[in-house]
C-alpha cells in the first residue's frame, strides 16, 4: 500500500536543533488545543521531552507504540496529517479511526501500533509481537514502546518484557514516569524505581532525565542501536512531571505542591541550551512558537468543521466483511 492509500509519506528520520525544538512546541500547542475542546483529553504538558526524544530518530520501517499521553506528535513524525489527527479527538468521520472509540491511533501503514482498548497496557503485547515478527523475518527493524508508571504495575508489563528478554527481541521499553497514576502518587504504588526491574530480566536498565530531550534521545538511540545488533531489549525510565490533572477536566484537588517534584520545563530548558550554543536567537524561537500556534489553530478549526461520524462510518459494514 502506497503513500496515496494511507496518507503517509516516506520522510527522512532524525531531527535536530530547531526542528527538534519545533517538535516540542508542536506537541504542547496541539495538546493544549485539544484539551481546550475535549475535557476528557489527557494533557501531556511537562512531558514533551520524553515523547519527542524517544521517537524522533526511528526509521520508516520501525514500529512505534507510544503512550496514550502525547501520541499525536509521534504520529506526525510518522507522516500523519495534523487536521486528521485532530478530527479523531472530535469523533469526526475524517479521522484516521473514522470516529470510533478512543482516538489514539495513527494512519494505517505508518508503523503505529494502535491503542484500541479502554484499558491501559494492551499495547505491550502488540508491540512485543511486532518485535518478534521483526526477529523472525531476520531484519534489523525495531519497536519502541512507551507507557506510564502506573501501567508498569500491570501483569502485561512483566510478561512481555520477560518474553522479550528470553527471546532477545528488538524492542525498547520506555516508562514515561510522571509521578502519578491518576490521583495516586508514585510512592504509593512503586516501592522501587521501575528501571530497577531490569536486573530481574537480565537486560540493561537506564534511568534518564525525562525533561532533557537530548538526554532521552541519546538513551533511546543507544538502546535502539543495541536492539538492531540483535542484543535484545532495554528498559528505560524517563523521570518527568505531570503539570496538570489526569485529564483536561481534572482539577486535581487531591494534589499539593509537596506531593511531587516539579521538574524544569522541557521546552524552556532546550531553548536555553540552543541560545547558549548560539544555535538560535530569541526572535527565531519566538517566531517558531507563533508559526506553530497558527498552524495548530488552522488545522484544529478545519477538523472541527468536518462532519461527525455517522452510520456509514460506524455501521456493521465497517465491522463485518
Which domains can be identified in the chain, with CATH numbers?
Answer: 14-68+124-298 (3.40.50.970)
Q: Which pTM value belongs to this model? A: 0.88
Contacts of 110 (CB under 8 A, 6+ apart): 6, 8, 75, 78, 79, 80
Give the whole-angstrom CA distance, residue 109 versus residue 111: 6
**pLDDT-based confidence at 182, cuts 50/70/90?**
low
Is pLDDT larger for residue 4 or for residue 73?
73
Give the whole-angstrom CA distance, residue 167 versus residue 159: 12
The answer to whether 190 touches 149, Cβ cutoff 8 Å, is: yes
Per-residue pLDDT reduced to its tens digit, 226-241: 999 999 999 999 999 8
- Here the cell at position 296 is 495548530
Per-residue pLDDT reduced to its tens digit, 112-150: 887 655 667 788 999 999 999 999 999 999 999 999 888
Amino acid at each position: 500500500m502506497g503513500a496515496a492509500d494511507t496518507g503517509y509519506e516516506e520522510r527522512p528520520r532524525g531531527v535536530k536543533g530547531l526542528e527538534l525544538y519545533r517538535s516540542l512546541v508542536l506537541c504542547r500547542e496541539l495538546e493544549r488545543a485539544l484539551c481546550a475542546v475535549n475535557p476528557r483529553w489527557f494533557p501531556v504538558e511537562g512531558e514533551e521531552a520524553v515523547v519527542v526524544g524517544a521517537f524522533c530518530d526511528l526509521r520508516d520501517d520501525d514500529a512505534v507504540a507510544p503512550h496514550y499521553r502525547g501520541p499525536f506528535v509521534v504520529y506526525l513524525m510518522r507522516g500523519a496529517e495534523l487536521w486528521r489527527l485532530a478530527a479523531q479527538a472530535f469523533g469526526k468521520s475524517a479521522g484516521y479511526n473514522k470516529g470510533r472509540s478512543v482516538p489514539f491511533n495513527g494512519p494505517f501503514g505508518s508503523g503505529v501500533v494502535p491503542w484500541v482498548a479502554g484499558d491501559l497496557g494492551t499495547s505491550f503485547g502488540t508491540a512485543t509481537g511486532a518485535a518478534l515478527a521483526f526477529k523472525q523475518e531476520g531484519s534489523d527493524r525495531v519497536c519502541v514502546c512507551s507507557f506510564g508508571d502506573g501501567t508498569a504495575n500491570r501483569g502485561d508489563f512483566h510478561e512481555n518484557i520477560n518474553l522479550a528478554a528470553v527471546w532477545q527481541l528488538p524492542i525498547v521499553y520506555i516508562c514515561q514516569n510522571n509521578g502519578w497514576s491518576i490521583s495516586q502518587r508514585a510512592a504509593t504504588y512503586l516501592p522501587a524505581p521501575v528501571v530497577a526491574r531490569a536486573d530481574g530480566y537480565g537486560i540493561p536498565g537506564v534511568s534518564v532525565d525525562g525533561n532533557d530531550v537530548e538526554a532521552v534521545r541519546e538513551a533511546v538511540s543507544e538502546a535502539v542501536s543495541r536492539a538492531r545488533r540483535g542484543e535484545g531489549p532495554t528498559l528505560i525510565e524517563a523521570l518527568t512531571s505531570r503539570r496538570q490533572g489526569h485529564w483536561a477536566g481534572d482539577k486535581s484537588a487531591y494534589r499539593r505542591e509537596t506531593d511531587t517534584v516539579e521538574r524544569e520545563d522541557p521546552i524552556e530548558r532546550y531553548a536555553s541550551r540552543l541560545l547558549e550554543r548560539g544555535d538560535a536567537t530569541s526572535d527565531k524561537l519566538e517566531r517558531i512558537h507563533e508559526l506553530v500556534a497558527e498552524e495548530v489553530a488552522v488545522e484544529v478549526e478545519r477538523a472541527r468543521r468536518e462532519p461527525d461520524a455517522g452510520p456509514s462510518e460506524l455501521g456493521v459494514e465497517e465491522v463485518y466483511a
